[in-house]
Structure 1
Amino acid sequence: MTGVTLSKAVKKYGDVQVIHNIDLQIEDGEFCVFVGPSGCGKSTLLRMIAGLEETTNGQINIGSRDVTHMDPSERGVAMVFQTYALYPHMSVEENMGFGLKMNGHPRAEIKEKVAEASRILQLDQYLSRKPKALSGGQRQRVAIGRAIVRGPEVFLFDEPLSNLDAELRVDMRVEIARLHKEIGATMIYVTHDQVEAMTLADKIVVLRAGHVEQVGSPMELYQNPDNKFVAGFIGSPAMNFLDGIVSEGGVTVAALGGRRIETDVALPDEDNPVIVGLRPQHLRVAEGGSDIALDLRERLGGVSYDYLATATGEKIIVETRGDEAIAEGTAVTVDFDDPSAYFFDAKTEARLR
């Protein structure tokens, strides 16, 4: 197995540049997730690594090989797509071994590799079935098995769980995590779902408009975001963002009834605006007279989400646990510990530290 290196990678369609000078190192055996909103360039970047999109400028290395202009078949990668793309007239066993058969591998070798992939993915009892007799999750496992039998240096996953229902998505996340642990291959995975990114990744690459916003482990990005975009994208529910004004070495937040936050962060001069970030689980809500009202409560069993309306028009989400219920429409107060607040520049949206 081997790693992947991108150096000043650029992709243009005519005069339109969609990938902007990306430098990235994915280590041998690492599970790297590209995450970001639709249209951010994550699938394009994955397809550039696969060779399905031509790289306009820059270089892509897989291990020590420069594969920038190699055909996809020469790169030593295997790709799993959102659609299963299985041959409906073939059995599971035939689907998994078809690529090796077309490349002239001996029948005994194909059978051995299919059997090993089937063992890893727990598909032994389905080998004789046709795709129409399988569930969506089973079909996706077959598609992954087809990639495994090729013995690639790098596995590429392009939103492989998007077509599955919620329960199957959870099951397949576990399957993919277990697969990575067992075979130890380098894997690059594209998703717009930050929960998938957080639960699967060794390393997350957050993309926006073809630029890398930040690279790091899931908890690094969660606890130490570089800017407002990363802070809002990583974490569910998303971080609350409120307007603040610098005052006497702290920040005053109008949406919280003029609540002043004490901080040692390097702030702009007094009376300058900043953006205050507060994670829902760091907030506490209680009944009390204020300009904040509990607009809606979502009950999810062990956890609830309170949606608060403020006099300034800014929205606040609070994560609560337990059975205590505040009636919708009730005036409430919001409290938190000052060190839990994040601060961002009002113009650049960069993190203030």
Structure 2
Amino acid sequence: MTGVTLAKAVKKYGDVQVIHDVDLTIEDGEFCVFVGPSGCGKSTLLRMIAGLEETSDGQIHIGARDVTDLDAADRGVAMVFQSYALYPHMTVEENMGFGLKMNGHPKSEIKEKVAEASRILKLDQYLKRKPKALSGGQRQRVAIGRAIVRGPEVFLFDEPLSNLDAELRVDMRVEIARLHKEIGATMIYVTHDQVEAMTLADKIVVLRAGRVEQVGSPMDLYSDPDNRFVAGFIGSPSMNFLEGTVQGGGVVVPALENRRVGTSVSLPSEGSKVLVGLRPQHLSVLAADSSLILDLRERLGGVSYDYLTTPTGEKLIVETRGDEALPEGTAVAINFDDADAYFFDGATEQRLR
């Protein structure tokens, strides 16, 4: 197996540039997830690595090889798509081995590789079935098995779980994580779902409008975001953001009845606008004579989410645990530790440290 390196990678469609000077190193055996909102360029970047999209400028290396201008078939990668793309008239065994058969591999070798892939993916009992007799999760495992038998240097996944229901998505996340541990291959995975990114990745690449916003481990991005976009995208529910003003070495937040949030970070000049970021799990609510109103509570069993509207019209989400609940419409106060607050420049939205 081997790693992947992108150096100033650019993609243009005519005069429109959709990928902007991406520099990225994915180590040998690493599970790297590209994440971001729809239209951010994550699938385009993956297809550039696969050779399905031409690279307009820059270089792409797989291991020591410059593959920038190589055809997809010569890059040593295998791709798993959102669509299973299985042949309906073939059995699972035939679907998994078809690529090797077309490339002239001996029958004994095909049988051996299919058997190994089916063992890894727990498909042994389904080898003689056709796709119509399989569930969505089983079909996706067959598509992954078809990639495994090729023995690629790099596995590429383009939103492979998007067609599955919620329960199957969880099951397949576990399967893919287990697969990575067992075969140790370099894997690059595209998703818009930050929960998938957090649970699967060794490294997350957050993309916005064709640019890399931040690269790091899941917990690095969660606990130490570089800007408001990353802070709001990583974490579920997303971080709350409230407008504030620098005053007396802290930040005064009108939405919290002019509470002053103390901090040791380097703040801009007195009177400057700052965004205060607060994660839902760092907040708590209690009944109080306040202008904050609890609009709605979502009960999810062991955890609940309280939705509040502030006097300034900003929205807040508070994560609560336990059975005690305040009635909707209750006036409440918000408690939190100042040390848990994040601060972002009001103009640039870059993190203040």
Please give the TM-score of this superposition, normalised by the length of structure 2. Answer: 1.00
SS state at 1:214 partner? strand
In structure 2, what is the Cα distance between the partners aligned to 1:267 and 1:128? 66
Which aligned pairs between 1:280-319 and structure 2 lie closer than 5 A?
A: 280-319=280-319
In structure 1, what is the Cα distance between the partners aligned to 2:251 and 2:324? 31
Quote how far apart the aligned CAs of 1:58 are: 0.2
Counterpart in the other structure of 2:154: 154
Quote how far apart the aligned CAs of 1:259 are: 0.7
Amino acid at match of 1:119: R
Which aligned pairs between 1:154-303 and structure 2 lie closer than 5 A?
A: 154-303=154-303
SS state at 2:296 partner? strand
Quote how far apart the aligned CAs of 1:9 are: 0.1
Identity within the alignment, %: 82
SS state at 1:173 partner? helix
| Cα distance per residue 1:35-76 (max 9 Å; x no partner) | 000000000000000000000000000000000010000000
Unaligned runs of 5+ in 2: none
In structure 2, what is the Cα distance between the partners aligned to 1:350 and 1:218? 19
Quote how far apart the aligned CAs of 1:271 are: 1.0
| Cα distance per residue 1:154-198 (max 9 Å; x no partner) | 000000000000000000000000000000000000000000000
Deviant stretches of 4+, over 4 Å: none
| Cα distance per residue 1:196-222 (max 9 Å; x no partner) | 000000000000000000000000000
In structure 1, what is the Cα distance between the partners aligned to 2:316 and 2:254? 13
Counterpart in the other structure of 1:79: 79
SS state at 1:59 partner? strand
Counterpart in the other structure of 2:342: 342
In structure 2, what is the Cα distance between the partners aligned to 1:127 and 1:69? 37
Quote how far apart the aligned CAs of 1:12 are: 0.1
| Cα distance per residue 1:98-149 (max 9 Å; x no partner) | 0000000000000000000000000000000000000000000000000000
Amino acid at match of 2:38: S
Counterpart in the other structure of 2:328: 328
How many residue pairs match? The answer is 353
Counterpart in the other structure of 1:9: 9
Quote how far apart the aligned CAs of 1:299 are: 0.2
In structure 2, what is the Cα distance between the partners aligned to 1:234 and 1:16? 28
In structure 2, what is the Cα distance between the partners aligned to 1:219 and 1:12? 33
In structure 1, what is the Cα distance between the partners aligned to 2:289 and 2:273? 27
In structure 2, what is the Cα distance between the partners aligned to 1:83 and 1:286? 48
SS state at 1:140 partner? helix
Counterpart in the other structure of 2:126: 126
SS state at 2:260 partner? strand
**Root mean square deviation of aligned Cα:** 0.3
Amino acid at match of 1:88: P
Quote how far apart the aligned CAs of 1:25 are: 0.1
Please give the TM-score of this superposition, normalised by the length of structure 1. Answer: 1.00
Counterpart in the other structure of 2:69: 69
Amino acid at match of 2:267: L
Quote how far apart the aligned CAs of 1:308 are: 0.4
In structure 2, what is the Cα distance between the partners aligned to 1:65 and 1:330? 63
SS state at 1:68 partner? coil
Quote how far apart the aligned CAs of 1:283 are: 0.3
SS state at 2:264 partner? coil
In structure 2, what is the Cα distance between the partners aligned to 1:156 and 1:41? 15
Unaligned runs of 5+ in 1: none
